[in-house]
């Protein structure tokens, strides 16, 4: 492996320049700019080809999916899942440097997508390239699946996975994200919560009206407030009938892992500038919530006048974006139906579910041999075993792969990477170290039976 490590060392400047080029592409899936998304897909395809993989662009109903593969006739196959799209960068005014003008400060590279997930995408391709360019035999076959709609709910991934089960089948898979926790320890995530994201809308009068008429005109804004209020009480309990029906208790092996997983409540409080967690939870409750509590969060709400000063208006319409994080066995369509029933039964038939998207939760068993591969590679490169989390509270289309490849999520970010927030960044040292770890995972996977 020394030759490979030396190759990566020698190419740091090239890799960094390439990451900066990748991050300059404002590939926000939610913005619906097909031109930039296709340009980014082409950029990724080109990189795969230049790295010795066979790449292909697959048209979908939305943004194309890119695959790459390098079949060396090995017994085992490693699959990488990544995405070349990024979250919207707003609110822009909170960025210290523009989100799509990558900037290095304090040994960190700041840009939208640096941590989620362009840094990882690039690092994994370079890991394979290192084998290829140094003429080192790859001990496993490599496959990449790189989509462009992950931050928009992966609407076209289910069909693609269904139609390409054979291509995607693998003995182990590395999921898109991960990195160091606040104490510097690497984390490995074995699952993802599910997600149901809905946009609620209502319109009560034909036009924005003078607020003097509030004495007789119905208000879309009030309807939305009351409807949202009916969804969750001040003690964080979701009030939708049957919402918790399918929530399963954690298994014994999971509970054992959790018992040993270190948590840092004081750090979290300091980092997020909060005095207490919701429900004033202690550390044990925090763990339980983190791993196995479904949530109901408002991602956004908007109605009426939000500018400066006091416009006296009764808004014609109101909109809210709500996301539910779901745990294993809660099904999207079932929760959606329960939400609709709830709204109807509470008298909110006027609140429309304008659109929705989501995935169900999925987990890789804690005792799967591929988890050990990641553990050993991390120990070899980072000098310590990764902290195993039975699931991550975030979401993604992991469930699609549940029956065809055991996935573990690791990556190059750290506690301060601010994925989905302004000033997203990746620490350069961990970015380069992660490329090395990916080569070690390939090596380690080849050694196991």
Site for its own copies in 146-165 (CB under 8 A): 151-153
Q: Of residues 20, 57, 268, 336, which one binds its own copies by CB under 8 A?
A: 268
Nearest distance in Å: CB 303, its own copies: 5
* Location of structure tokens 């939708």: 240
Question: What are the φ/ψ torsions at residue 205 (nearest 5 degrees)?
Answer: -130, 160
Q: Of residues 259, 306, 367, 449, which one binds its own copies by CB under 8 A?
A: 306
Max alpha carbon distance in the chain (Å)? 78
Taking a C-beta distance cutoff of 8 angstroms, is the pair 55, 49 a contact? yes
- Decide if residue 296 touches its own copies (CB under 8 A): yes
- Decide if residue 249 touches its own copies (CB under 8 A): no
What is the SS3 assignment for 408-433? EECCCEECCCCCCCCCCEEEHHHHHH
- Decide if residue 319 touches its own copies (CB under 8 A): yes
Which range, of 48-56, 137-145, 277-285, 333-341, touches its own copies by CB under 8 A?
277-285
Residue with smaller CB distance to its own copies, 276 or 367? 276
Residue with smaller CB distance to its own copies, 22 or 291? 291
Four-point Cα dihedral 387, 391, 396, 401, nearest 10: 100
Q: Of residues 73, 135, 249, 308, which one binds its own copies by CB under 8 A?
A: 308
- Decide if residue 386 touches its own copies (CB under 8 A): no
Q: Of residues 5, 100, 226, 264, which one binds its own copies by CB under 8 A?
A: 226
Which 3 state secondary structure label does DSSP give 65? strand
Residue with smaller CB distance to its own copies, 210 or 384? 210
Taking a C-beta distance cutoff of 8 angstroms, is the pair 370, 172 a contact? yes
Please give the Cα distance from 345 to 340 (Å, whole number).
8
Residue with smaller CB distance to its own copies, 68 or 396? 396
Give strand ranges (E) for 327-382: 352-359, 362-363
Q: Of residues 106, 273, 367, 383, which one binds its own copies by CB under 8 A?
A: 273
Taking CB under 8 A as the criterion, which residues in 404-433 touch its own copies? 418-422
Nearest distance in Å: CB 199, its own copies: 8
Which range, of 6-14, 48-56, 212-220, 381-389, touches its own copies by CB under 8 A?
212-220
Please give the Cα distance from 283 to 277 (Å, whole number).
10
- Decide if residue 393 touches its own copies (CB under 8 A): yes
Burial of residue 20 (number of CB atoms within 10 Å: 0-12, 13-18, 19+): middle
Nearest distance in Å: CB 57, its own copies: 22
Which range, of 35-43, 55-63, 247-255, 264-272, touches its own copies by CB under 8 A?
264-272
Residue with smaller CB distance to its own copies, 157 or 314? 314
- Decide if residue 261 touches its own copies (CB under 8 A): no
- Decide if residue 352 touches its own copies (CB under 8 A): no
Taking a C-beta distance cutoff of 8 angstroms, is the pair 386, 375 a contact? yes
Taking CB under 8 A as the criterion, which residues in 49-108 touch its own copies? 87-88, 90-91, 94
One symbol per residue from 107 to 136: x for binding its own copies (CB under 8 A), - otherwise; what is it? ------------------------------
Taking a C-beta distance cutoff of 8 angstroms, is the pair 209, 314 a contact? yes
Nearest distance in Å: CB 227, its own copies: 10
Cα distances (Å, whole numbers) of residue 380 to 154, 247, 297: 34, 37, 39
Nearest distance in Å: CB 24, its own copies: 21
- Decide if residue 225 touches its own copies (CB under 8 A): yes
Taking a C-beta distance cutoff of 8 angstroms, is the pair 85, 37 a contact? yes
Please give the Cα distance from 360 to 362 (Å, whole number).
7
Taking a C-beta distance cutoff of 8 angstroms, is the pair 316, 204 a contact? yes
Taking a C-beta distance cutoff of 8 angstroms, is the pair 99, 111 a contact? yes
Give start and end residues of each alpha helix (H) in 108-156.
119-134
Which range, of 43-51, 119-127, 274-282, 430-438, touches its own copies by CB under 8 A?
274-282
Which range, of 6-14, 239-247, 265-273, 329-337, touches its own copies by CB under 8 A?
265-273
Please give the Cα distance from 361 to 382 (Å, whole number).
29
How many other C-beta atoms can be found within 10 angstroms of the C-beta atom of residue 422?
16
Count of residues touching its own copies (by CB under 8 A): 90
Residue with smaller CB distance to its own copies, 135 or 307? 307
Count CA within 13 A, CB hemisphere, residue 17.
4
Residue with smaller CB distance to its own copies, 75 or 229? 229
- Decide if residue 303 touches its own copies (CB under 8 A): yes
Taking a C-beta distance cutoff of 8 angstroms, is the pair 418, 108 a contact? no
- Decide if residue 41 touches its own copies (CB under 8 A): no
């Amino acid at each position: 492996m020394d030759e490979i490590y030396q190759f990566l060392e020698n190419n740091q400047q090239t890799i960094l320049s390439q990451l900066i080029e990748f991050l300059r592409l404002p590939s926000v899936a939610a913005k619906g700019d097909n031109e930039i998304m296709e340009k980014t897909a082409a950029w990724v395809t080109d990189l795969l080809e230049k790295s010795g993989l066979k790449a292909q662009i697959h048209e979908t109903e939305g943004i194309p999916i890119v695959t790459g593969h390098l079949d060396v006739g090995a017994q085992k196959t490693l699959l990488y899942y990544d995405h070349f799209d990024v979250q919207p960068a707003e609110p822009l005014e909170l960025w210290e440097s523009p989100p799509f003008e990558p900037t290095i400060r304090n040994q960190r590279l700041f840009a939208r997508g640096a941590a989620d997930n362009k840094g990882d995408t690039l690092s994994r391709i370079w890991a394979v390239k290192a084998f290829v360019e140094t003429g080192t035999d790859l001990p496993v076959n490599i496959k990449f699946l790189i989509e462009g709609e992950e931050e928009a709910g992966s609407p076209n991934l289910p069909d693609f996975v269904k139609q390409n089960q054979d291509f995607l089948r693998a003995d182990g898979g590395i999921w898109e994200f991960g990195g160091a926790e606040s104490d510097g320890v690497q984390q490995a995530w074995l699952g993802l919560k599910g997600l149901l994201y809905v946009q609620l809308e209502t319109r009560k009068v034909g036009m924005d009206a003078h607020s003097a008429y509030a004495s007789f005109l119905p208000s879309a804004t009030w309807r939305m407030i009351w409807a949202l209020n009916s969804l969750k009480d001040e003690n964080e309990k979701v009030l939708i009938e049957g919402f918790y029906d399918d929530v399963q208790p954690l298994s014994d092996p999971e509970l054992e892992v959790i018992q040993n997983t270190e948590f840092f409540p004081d750090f979290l409080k300091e980092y997020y500038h909060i005095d207490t967690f919701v429900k004033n939870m202690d550390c044990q409750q925090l763990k339980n919530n983190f791993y196995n509590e479904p949530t109901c969060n408002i991602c956004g709400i908007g109605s009426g006048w939000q500018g400066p000063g006091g416009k006296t208006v009764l808004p014609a319409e109101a909109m809210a974006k709500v996301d539910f994080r779901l745990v294993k066995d809660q099904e999207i369509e079932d929760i959606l139906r329960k939400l609709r029933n709830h709204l109807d039964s509470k008298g909110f038939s006027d609140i429309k579910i304008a659109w929705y998207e989501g995935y169900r939760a999925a987990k890789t068993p804690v005792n799967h041999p591929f988890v050990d591969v990641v553990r050993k590679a991390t120990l070899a490169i980072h000098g310590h075993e990764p902290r195993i989390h039975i699931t991550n509270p975030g979401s993604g289309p992991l469930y699609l792969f549940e029956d065809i490849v055991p996935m573990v999520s690791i990556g190059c970010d750290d506690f301060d990477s601010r994925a989905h927030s302004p000033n997203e960044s990746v620490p350069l040292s961990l970015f380069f170290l992660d490329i090395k770890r990916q080569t070690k995972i390939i090596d380690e996977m080849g050694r196991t039976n």
